[in-house]
Amino acid sequence: MAAKKRKFSEDYIKFGFTFIEKDELQLPQCVICMKVLSNDSMRPNRLERHLKQQHPTLLLKTKEFFSSKAESLKRMRLDKSGSYHTGVSQHLKASFEIAFMIAKQKKPHTIGEELIKPCVLKATQIILGEDAEQKMKSISLSNNTVKRRIDDIAADIKAQIINKVKLSPFFAISCDESTDIVNCAQLIVYVRYIGGDIIEEEILYSQSLTAGTTSEDIFNSISNFVEKNDLDWNKLIGLCTDGAPAMIGVRSGLAIKLKEKNPAMGFIAKLQLWNKKLSSENVISFSRLFEAIKNNKLDANLEADIKTHLQALEDEFRRYYRDIDSESPIWHMTRNPFVVDVLQLPEEIQDEFLEMKADSSMKDDFHLLTLEKFWIKRLPVNSKLASLALRVLIPFSSTYLCETGFSALVLIKTKQRNRLDVSNDLMIALARTEPRINQLVQNMQAQVSH
């Protein structure tokens, strides 16, 4: 049975108490020491006991005296530079920081109220005294509070990551799925992108696959996330999965999606279609040629020339829009531009390649910087070359990070916590991005000190 929600009575001012609202509950607050009690303490006998024990010299004071103190307290709440407001801000920040550490260490939310807070209070009482202990009691670490803090922190981290992905000229993803303690399928997706002068990798999101684990289910999850968060399909240059049949289906599904979303990939598909039609002497796709020959048979030499031209176009497009293997000149150029013969590179980047090699600072940068930093630094100067190189460097080489994520999942979702939605806890546990806790505190300030 849910605990009764007690309401404040104006008559309680005679005991020196007003109230604040928190988590949709009215909590009694002493107008003398500003201590906040639990909602269950909203009873005359408990409020009077606090007055007798904590402020015995004020027992004979009138209602008017306590009402005056209540008005002063109310003004302090409204003044953001006041000591009370500062105290609320500090308590709120402490609550966020502790909740963040709970999730980071993959611990149950109840540990805040059951272990951490009692330990903090006891240590504070021993080292700093009872007055300091009273201040610490205002730190909210209940199960529900910790859950809300974790949700807010995870949302902030995810927003930061998505914003960085949007700013990156390219990104790649790695995904895998596994089952948790209750045999619920969980999808984890990581992302690699350019963040500043390095390539960063972060957890992008995780989600329970309630509908199933087919390639279509996994693909729909990724597709929905990309579109919901306004990520650019044209910037997605790589997908890494394991070799499971469902994941191979995801790869082909995403390839189809890329062709639909990326004009260049779509054009390659058209070139292939036109070539197939030519083999059966179907030239309807070429309107002028169709009009020229009408019902006549297509000349074999002309057909061969058109096919050669279409294949050449496809080859040129594939220089930019295909998986680059370790034997290609682009791969070797990425690893070391000094060992590549310019004539081995696509003609359209040869001039830019020679210009880059003529740059006196280029050789020093190559030896001083990592490959990632080198090519990111060249991006504004040698955009075509750097874009090709970064298409080699950004994609994931394995699903190792996803597997690490599943190890964290085992620790978070246990038999005792089998009904937990782990997505936000998992986001905090796996993310490298630091939450903007000061900003979160400022956003909540008005609500908490209301």
Domains in the chain, number? 1
Q: b/e for 76-115, b at 16 or more Cβ within 10 A?
A: bbeeeeeebbeebbebbbbbbbbbbebbbebbbbbbbbee
pLDDT band at 377 (very low <50, low <70, confident <90, very high): very high
- The CA distance from 3 to 299, in Å, is 88
437-448 vs 143-167: helix crossing angle, rounded to 10 = 130
Q: What is the DSSP string of 53-116?
A: HH-GGGTT--HHHHHHHHHHHHHHHH-TTSHHHHHHHHHHHHHHHHHHHHHHTT--TTHIIIII
* Residue appearing with tokens 């081995």: 344
In this predicted model, what pLDDT tens digit does every residue of 102-126 receive, in sequence order? 999 999 999 999 999 999 999 999 9
The answer to whether position 4 is within a domain reads: yes
Q: pTM value?
A: 0.69
Residue 186: beta bridge partners?
178, 208
Q: Does the pLDDT of residue 258 top 70, yes or no? A: no
- The CA distance from 150 to 424, in Å, is 7
Q: Does the pLDDT of residue 278 top 50, yes or no? A: yes
* Residue appearing with tokens 């003609």: 347
**Domain of 63?**
1-78
Backbone angles phi, psi at 36, to 5 degrees: -105, 125
Q: Does the pLDDT of residue 234 top 50, yes or no? A: yes
Residue 171: beta bridge partners?
193, 236
Q: pLDDT at position 76, please?
A: 65
The answer to whether position 12 is within a domain reads: yes
Residue pair 236/172 in contact (Cβ under 8 Å)? The answer is: yes
Measure the CA angle with vertex 347, ends 345 and 353; round to 5°.
Answer: 60
Residue pair 36/47 in contact (Cβ under 8 Å)? The answer is: no
| H-only helix segments in 319-378 | 329-335, 347-358, 360-368, 371-378
Quote the DSSP letter at residue 19. Answer: E
Tell which phi-psi region holds residue 82, choosing left (phi > 0), alpha (psi between -120 and 50) or beta: beta
The answer to whether position 72 is within a domain reads: yes
Mean residue pLDDT of the chain comes to 84
Mean pLDDT of all residues in 362-387: 93
From the centroid of its chain, how far is CA 66? 49
Query: What's the full length of the chain, in residues?
Result: 450
pLDDT band at 322 (very low <50, low <70, confident <90, very high): very low
The answer to whether position 250 is within a domain reads: no
Number of helices (H), then strands (E), in the chain? 20, 6
The answer to whether position 56 is within a domain reads: yes
pLDDT: which is higher, 411 or 313: 411
In this predicted model, what pLDDT tens digit does every residue of 79-92 receive, in sequence order? 444 455 555 678 88
pLDDT: which is higher, 167 or 304: 167
The answer to whether position 310 is within a domain reads: no
The answer to whether position 286 is within a domain reads: no
Lowest mean pLDDT among 80-94, 253-267, 392-406, 419-433: 253-267
The answer to whether position 49 is within a domain reads: yes
Which tokens go with 212?
Answer: 């199933």
Mean pLDDT of all residues in 128-146: 88
Q: Which of 27-41, 84-98, 240-254 has the largest mean confidence? A: 27-41
In this predicted model, what pLDDT tens digit does every residue of 382-420 receive, in sequence order? 999 999 999 999 998 888 899 899 899 889 888 887 777
pLDDT band at 449 (very low <50, low <70, confident <90, very high): very low
Q: pLDDT at position 248, please?
A: 63
Q: pLDDT at position 450, please?
A: 36
In this predicted model, what pLDDT tens digit does every residue of 147-192 receive, in sequence order? 999 999 999 999 999 999 999 999 999 998 888 777 788 999 999 9
